[in-house]
Amino acid sequence: MASALGLTAVLAGCAGLGTPGSGEVTLRLVAADYGDSEANSSQKYWDALVEEYEADHPDVRVEVSVYSWNDVDRKVKEMVAAGKAPDMAQIGAYADYAAQDLLHPVGELLSIPVQADLLPQLSEAGRVKRTAYGMPFVASTRVLFYNKKLFADAGITDAPKSWNDLAADAAVLKADGVRIPYALPLGPEEAQAETMQWLLSGGDGYTDDIGNYQFDSEANVDTFTWLKDRLVDKGLTGPTPPAELNRADAFTAFTNGEVGMLNGHPTLMKTATEKGVKFGMVPMPGRGGRSTAHLGVADWMMAFKQNGHREEIGDFLDFVYSDKNVLAFARMYDLLPVTTSASRIMSDTESDAALAPFLAELPDTEFYPVGKTSWAEVSAAVKKRMGKAVAPGGSPKAVLDGLQRMAESADAAGEEK
């Protein structure tokens, strides 16, 4: 992501005050930057949105500070710790703040029509103990990308539908000299995404139907045992050990024409197209056919109670979640809208056709258990440990058992907060 544009000086001032005696309210929003340069920084989106909003709301000022993803969560945490919480934050997780009773429930903010328009599975993912605190801001799903030229050169005529198909195709690609038949990024950047996608395709996931961690389930152990035996140990995941391969490096290798298959999100389409890579996209293969459950990733908007601007925040967020603004941001960064109405518009718009495979998965997506206060700690452990499960001499069962014990302990500690 692009480097931070810098937190404006207003954040050092007294939060929540307008000009003395003016009756003006100042709302402060800290947001993440989805751009990769100053030219496409999210600051430009927010500046245009705020200018339009303020034109119709002369008694409300909105000041938006945009930070890179490397910094934004930490910056908000520091502000909250200093007693200077922003009115709103658009970041990666909300559960810790909700557990500390720092956030407004969504029902106190958004109008009923806007609440009802949020995609149901995303609204559900925004809950802590059955109360919604996180508002989904933008989403993405993952599909299997494959290099059409490498497939054709190797004589492969169809995209894989099952794990066995994927393994067989990877073996053919390797025999044809492809450097990385299947890229398996289990490095520290985003191992939690690749892991969850494989666990879902194997029939389980991180949690069971009632929200308890289930790392050590029989299906999960079988999934990573298959990965180790059928892909990694056979040399079908390339020269870099999965534990050392990050998503960004895997994407770069794909756009350089060195990867036969990998799991990717919508932004990979643009970079691959710019590099002239001819690619196809299909749902993730499953144990016996196409997977019926898909990984979804969402980023979140939340509103802090500290400054007492509930009504103004709610009105501004209703504007943020209008179709026009939701679609503008999603299209700017090749992501997916988080409302039913905007999703329907995107599905019916020819210029958005490239996103159709990702939109089609939205109804069957499952998201990280972000409503658990333990998730940040558990996610960090997955990033650190999961690659070891498929390393030479590694034991998928031992790694998953260890993660289960750690997750249960972190969950219990979170419940005590």
Domain match, 49 and 116 both: yes
333 in any annotated domain: yes
Domain match, 271 and 394 both: yes
Domain match, 76 and 177 both: no
* % of residues, the chain, pLDDT over 70: 94
**CB-based contacts of 224, cutoff 8 Å, min separation 6:** 198, 389, 390, 396, 399, 400
Residue 42: pLDDT band (50, 70, 90) is very high
Q: Do residues 32 and 94 make contact, with C-beta atoms less than 8 angstroms apart? A: no
**CB-based contacts of 401, cutoff 8 Å, min separation 6:** 215, 216
- Type and span of the H or E element at 75: helix 72-81
Domain containing 56 — which CATH number? 3.40.190.10
- Average pLDDT across the chain, whole number: 91
Q: Which neighbouring-strand residues pair with 91? A: 300
Q: Pick from 123, 150, 83, 142: which is nearest to 305 by CA? A: 83
Structure confidence by residue, pLDDT tens digits, 161-194: 999 999 999 999 999 999 999 999 999 988 999 9
1 in any annotated domain: no
Q: Residue 350 belongs to what domain range?
A: 9-140+297-366
DSSP string, 356-402: HHHHHHGGGEEE--TTSTTHHHHHHHHHHHGGGGGSTT--HHHHHHH
Q: Which one-letter DSSP state was computed for residue 276? A: T
Q: Do residues 142 and 284 make contact, with C-beta atoms less than 8 angstroms apart? A: yes
Question: Is the pLDDT score of 4 beyond 50?
Answer: no
307 in any annotated domain: yes
pLDDT, mean of residues 27-42: 90
Domain boundary (346, 366, 386) is at 366
Single-letter code of the amino acid located at 191 = A
Domain match, 107 and 215 both: no
Q: Do residues 255 and 277 make contact, with C-beta atoms less than 8 angstroms apart? A: yes
pLDDT, mean of residues 152-169: 98
Domain match, 275 and 174 both: yes
The burial of 303, by beta-carbon neighbours within 10 Å (0-12 exposed, 13-18 middle, 19 or more buried), is given as buried
- Type and span of the H or E element at 408: helix 396-416
Report the sign of the C-alpha dihedral through residues 30, 36, 38, 42, in that order.
Answer: negative
Domain match, 271 and 409 both: yes
**CB-based contacts of 21, cutoff 8 Å, min separation 6:** none
In whole angstroms, give the CA distance from residue 227 to residue 56.
56
Domain match, 111 and 203 both: no
206 in any annotated domain: yes
With tokens 């799991």, the residue in question is 263
| Number of folded domains that form the chain | 2
Q: Which neighbouring-strand residues pair with 141? A: 296
Q: Please give the span between the terminal C-alpha atoms of the chain, in angstroms, as a whole number.
A: 33
Domain boundary (366, 382, 404) is at 366
Residue 130: pLDDT band (50, 70, 90) is confident
The b-or-e profile of 15-41 (16+ CB within 10 A means b, else e) is bbeeeeeeeebbbbbbbbbbbeeeeeb
Secondary structure (3-state) at 138: strand
Domain match, 315 and 412 both: no
Domain match, 259 and 396 both: yes
Q: Which neighbouring-strand residues pair with 209? A: none
Domain boundary (366, 385, 403) is at 366
Q: Which neighbouring-strand residues pair with 67? A: 32
Structure confidence by residue, pLDDT tens digits, 203-223: 999 999 888 999 999 999 999
Domain match, 399 and 311 both: no
Structure confidence by residue, pLDDT tens digits, 358-413: 998 887 789 999 888 899 899 999 999 999 999 999 999 999 999 999 999 998 88
Residue 11: pLDDT band (50, 70, 90) is very low
The b-or-e profile of 139-167 (16+ CB within 10 A means b, else e) is bbbbbbbbbeebbeebebeebbbbbebbb
263 in any annotated domain: yes
In whole angstroms, give the CA distance from residue 171 to residue 180.
10
Domain match, 69 and 200 both: no
289 in any annotated domain: no
In whole angstroms, give the CA distance from residue 48 to residue 299.
21
292 in any annotated domain: no
Extract the tokens encoding 409.
Answer: 């302990």
In whole angstroms, give the CA distance from residue 274 to residue 202.
33
291 in any annotated domain: no
Extract the tokens encoding 382.
Answer: 């997955």
Question: Is the pLDDT score of 417 beyond 70?
Answer: no
Domain match, 379 and 409 both: yes
The burial of 350, by beta-carbon neighbours within 10 Å (0-12 exposed, 13-18 middle, 19 or more buried), is given as exposed
